[in-house]
A and B are shown apart, each in its own frame.
Chain A
Amino acid sequence: MKGSIIIVLFFIAGMILGVNRLLPPFLTGTDPGLYALYFLMFLVGAGIGSDKNVWRILADLNVKILLIPVVIILGTLGGSALSSVILPQISTADCLAVGSGFGYYSLSSIIISQIRNETLGVTALLANISREIFTLVAAPILVKLFGRLAPVASGGSTSMDTTLPVILRYSGREYAVLAVFSGMIITLLVPFIITTVYKTASLFN
């Protein structure tokens, strides 16, 4: 939670500087952001590669457990496709890409603002923060109405870290283990799913 607040504060600080035009022009172009993103992707990859848990979990895979992230991804994509019906001014591909953040707002908003534009990047930031906050707040209701897997699904990629405490509390320990696994798989896939959405969409245009 503290980490999320710091991240949002950095974003707001940048925004205030940008609104007031307090910056040298070289910082507002796309290039520094793009190279910083490549660097970040390298670091994210290194973090995954060096994590012993990832390899251990991948080693003793169980088909039934693997179904959890698959179902969460499919459900999220279905739901975001539906949201483009409610929001006709946003294209289906854009809705799918924003939904494909799965709560991983820092990375998804940066990737989307590079691929598309800043407006959609901010949409992704706010949508994925909302997903995290919703999961934190609604976890007990979700368990009651939709079963103990529901907060894991709602948490998406955040079920391995920020929303894990509420999952542990309301779904129980054995589901917390599944949450870490599912959150890891989804977190890993976020960049690939977002770029795949746009690659697939470009085939139809």
Chain B
Amino acid sequence: MSAGIVAGFLLRGRQRLIFILEKTTGFSIYILLFLLGISVGANDKVISNFANIGFNAVVIALCSVAGSVLLSSILYKTLFNGKKN
């Protein structure tokens, strides 16, 4: 990733190359999730536990959101309230 940042920095301003880069990134994300889907589908442990995994996922998501929202509301009240920043 650091190598990528350096490469990207050198490419600054070359709109055409950057456009291709963004397209490739999106495409490789599709491929990777496709591959993850394949190994998940071939994994009986995941398939038979899908409802359970979904439940765990929602609990973790709600807890993380709650934590970040509560802390951010403290920050909002102490530093940001009423000010346009």
Contacts and interface: CB of A to CB of B under 8 A. Distances in A.
Name, among A125, A142, A148, A153, the residue most crowded by chain B CB atoms within 10 Å (CB to CB): A153
Given A71-B71, A126-B53, A76 B37 contact: no
Interface string B13-53: 01000100110111011111111111111110111011001
Contacts of A123: 53, 56-57, 60
Interface string A112-126: 010000110111111
Contacts of A64: 79, 85
22 contacts: A14-B34, A15-B38, A16-B41, A19-B41, A19-B42, A36-B31, A36-B32, A43-B4, A49-B10, A50-B14, A64-B85, A76-B64, A102-B64, A106-B32, A110-B32, A110-B33, A118-B40, A119-B46, A119-B53, A127-B56, A146-B73, A150-B69
Contacts of A99: 60-61, 63-64
Classify the interface of chain A: helix, strand, loop or mixed: helix
Nearest to A49: B8
Given A43-B28, A126-B54, A191 B1 contact: yes
Interface of B: 1-12, 14, 18, 21-22, 24-26, 28-43, 45-47, 49-50, 53-54, 56-77, 79-81, 84-85
A68 B85 CA distance: 12
Classify the interface of chain B: helix, strand, loop or mixed: helix
B65 A21 contact: no
Contacts of B22: 47
A6 interface: yes
Interface residues of A, number: 93
Contact of A7 (B12, B30, B58, B62): B30
Nearest to A98: B60
Contacts of B72: 68, 71-72, 75, 146-147, 149-150, 152-153
Contact of B8 (A7, A23, A48, A102): A48
Contact of A153 (B6, B38, B69): B69
Given A18-B40, A67-B79, A113-B36, A45 B5 contact: yes
Contacts of B77: 147
